[in-house]
Structure 1
Amino acid sequence: MRRRAVAEGGYVHGYSPVEARRLNDQADALAALLHAGTTYPAGSRVLEAGCGVGAQTARLASGSPRAQITAVDVSEDSLAQARAHVAANVPEARVQWRCADLYELPFSDGMFDHVFVCFVLEHLKDPEGALEELRRVLRPGGTVTVIEGDHGSAFFHPDSAYARAAIDRQIQLQSAAGGNALIGRRLEPLLSAVGFADVAVRPCTVYADRARPGLVEGFTRNTFIAMVEAVRDNALTAGLTTRTEWDRGIADLYRTTEPGGTFHYTFFKAVAVNPGSPTHTRSTASGPWAVSCG
C-alpha cells in the first residue's frame, strides 16, 4: 500500500528482486519474534494491509490456516509475487488478493474482524489517514495489529560514526520520500489519535552476536545491512555522503557481524481495538506488554 508514498518520491528500498529476497529473509529471520501471539480463529475475516511480495502473508496463513485472509496492495506486480510466494510456501492457504489503495479500500464498513499491518506505515506520509480507513473497515470490537521498526533503536559494537551516518542517510531518504523510519516509537499516539482503544505496545528486540549466528546472517546481514546498502546510489546522487564515507560506513556495519561484534534493533508491535464508539474509555493497564518480547 504505497500510492501516496510513490507519488511523493517512491518506496525508498526499491522493487528489485534483491529487495523481494530481503523482505522474505526478514520475515523468516523474525517470524518467531514478530508473529508470536498473532493467530486468528477459524472463519475470522482478516485484512492484511500492504502485503507487498507476501513475505508476511505466508506467516499469517501458516499461523492461522483456517482464517479467511484478504491481502491488499496497491502494486499488481507485488501481488503477483505474493501469490507465487504463498502458493509455493503455504499451498493450502486461504487468501484472497485485491489491488487497492489503502486510503480508499473497496470494502464496506466493519467488514473485517481483524486487521494486520506490518512495515507499511513507515512508508506513508499520512499514516493517520491510513489508520482511519483501516478502522472504518474493522468491525466494532475487532482488533488491529501494527508492527513497525525504528532505526533510532539500532546500536552496535564496535561503534562507528561512519556506520551511524550511513543509517542516518537511509532515514533521511525515507523521510524525503514521505515516510518515517522512526515510526515505531509513535504507534501508541498514532492509534489513539484515530480512535482505537486499549492500545498496547510492546518492544520486540533483536540482539545478534556470535552465539546467535542465525540472527547475524538472517537479520544483521541479510535484512538490516542489506536495506542500508540498497540506498547507496540515492544517497550519493542526493549529495548526502561521499563514496569514501559510505564505503567506510558499510564496512563498519559488516564488522558488527564478525567475531566480537554485536548488533541490536527494536521493533514495536501494537495491538488495539476498534471500540465502535468515540466515547469508549481506553484502558491504561500495561501489564506484561511493558516488557521486551525478545
Structure 2
Amino acid sequence: MSSNNPSYKYIHGYQEVEQERLREQASVIENPIYDYIDFSGIENLLEIGSGVGAQTEILLRRWPQLSITGVEYEEKQIKKAFDNMSKLGYESDKVNFIHQDAKALSLSQQYDGAFICWVLEHVSEPVKVLKSMKPFLKNGAVVSITEVFNSTFYTYPIMPEIMDYWKLYNDFQVSIGGDPQVGARLGDLLEEAGYRDIQLRSGGFHLDSRQPEEKQKVFSYWKNLMSSGAPLLIEEGVVTEQQVLGMQLAMDKLRELPASVFYYRFIQATAYV
C-alpha cells in the first residue's frame, strides 16, 4: 500500500480479522484472476502492495520458479506477511518484503515482471506508482494489474440496506483519496505511464440459482468485505452500527435465497515495458 500522507487511512483496517479476510479473499477469487495470468517465463517478480502475502502465496504456488519482492507501505502487514510465508516454508531466496512507498521506489535490482492486485484503488494519483516502478522493470517485462470497478456491483433482488451502505462505503473511499472505479481507468493510466501493448479484460462473477454453492460462498465473502470497512466508517460517522447490521442481515438473506443473483466485474490489465 502506498501513501505520502502520515495520516493515511485504509478503509479495510489492519485488525487481525482483516488480515485473515485478505487471505480468504485471495482463495475465493483466485481462479477468476489467475487463470488469465501467465508468469511461466518470469523469474524475478515485483509485487506492489503485497499486504499480508495473500496474493504472494498464490503466485508462488502457481509459479514455483518465481522469486518475489513484495513492496508494502504498512509495517504491520509486512510482519504478518513474513509470518505467513515462514509457515508455508518459503525462505528469503524465494520471497522478501520491503517497507517502501510505491510512489517513490528505491530498489536494488530490476525485475522481469510486476504484479498489482487490489492496490491502486487505495492510492491517490495511481499513475505515480506505475511510473515509479517502471525503471526497475527490464525491457520487455510483463505487468499484470487487477483492480476494482465497484459501480458494477448488483444483486437481485435489490436491497436498499445493501446498496445504500455500498454507496456510503465507496463515497468514503473517494473522500480519503482512493478510487473505487479505478479499474475502468487502467488503460489510460498505463498509457500515461509509458507502457506498451496494453490489453484489458473484464472478469468477475454472475451467479444465480445454477451455482448455489459458489453463490453462497461469494455472498459470504462480499458480506465480510463490506463489513471490513465498518469500524472506520462508524468511527468517522459515515454509518451507524444499525446500518452495518442491516447490511449484514440483508446479505445473509440474499445468500440463502435460491432466486438471488450476485453480479460484479473487475478489470485486468496486461502491459509491457
* Aligned positions, number: 271
Q: CA deviation at 1:8?
A: 5.0
**What is residue 2 of structure 2 aligned with on the other side?**
2
Structure 2: segments with no counterpart, 5+ residues: none
TM-score scaled to structure 1, two decimals?
A: 0.84
**What is residue 219 of structure 2 aligned with on the other side?**
220
Aligned CA RMSD, in angstroms, stands at 2.2
**What is residue 235 of structure 1 aligned with on the other side?**
233
2:248 corresponds, among 247, 250, 254, to 250
- Which amino acid in structure 1 is aligned with residue 246 of structure 2? R
Q: CA deviation at 1:245?
A: 4.4
3-state SS, counterpart of residue 256 of structure 1 = helix
**What is residue 101 of structure 1 aligned with on the other side?**
101
**What is residue 288 of structure 1 aligned with on the other side?**
none
Q: CA deviation at 1:40?
A: 2.4
What is the CA–CA distance in structure 1 between the aligned matches of 2:206 and 2:89, rounded to whole Å?
29
1:214 to 1:89, Cα distance in 2 relative to 1, 3 A: farther
Alignment deviations for residues 206-241 of structure 1 (CA, whole Å, 9 cap, x no partner): 13345435533543212x221212333443444444
Q: Is the 8 A contact 2:42 2:113 kept in 1?
A: no
Q: Is the 8 A contact 1:208 1:216 kept in 2?
A: yes
- Which amino acid in structure 1 is aligned with residue 106 of structure 2? P
Percent of aligned pairs with the same amino acid: 25
Q: Is the 8 A contact 1:39 1:60 kept in 2?
A: no
**What is residue 29 of structure 1 aligned with on the other side?**
28
TM-score scaled to structure 2, two decimals?
A: 0.90
Structure 1: segments with no counterpart, 5+ residues: 275-294
**What is residue 87 of structure 2 aligned with on the other side?**
88
How does 1:169-188 map onto structure 2 within 5 Å?
Answer: 169-188=168-187
What is the CA–CA distance in structure 1 between the aligned matches of 2:66 and 2:201, rounded to whole Å?
25
3-state SS, counterpart of residue 204 of structure 1 = strand
1:235 to 1:70, Cα distance in 2 relative to 1, 3 A: closer
How does 1:128-207 map onto structure 2 within 5 Å?
Answer: 128-207=127-206
- Which amino acid in structure 1 is aligned with residue 103 of structure 2? Y
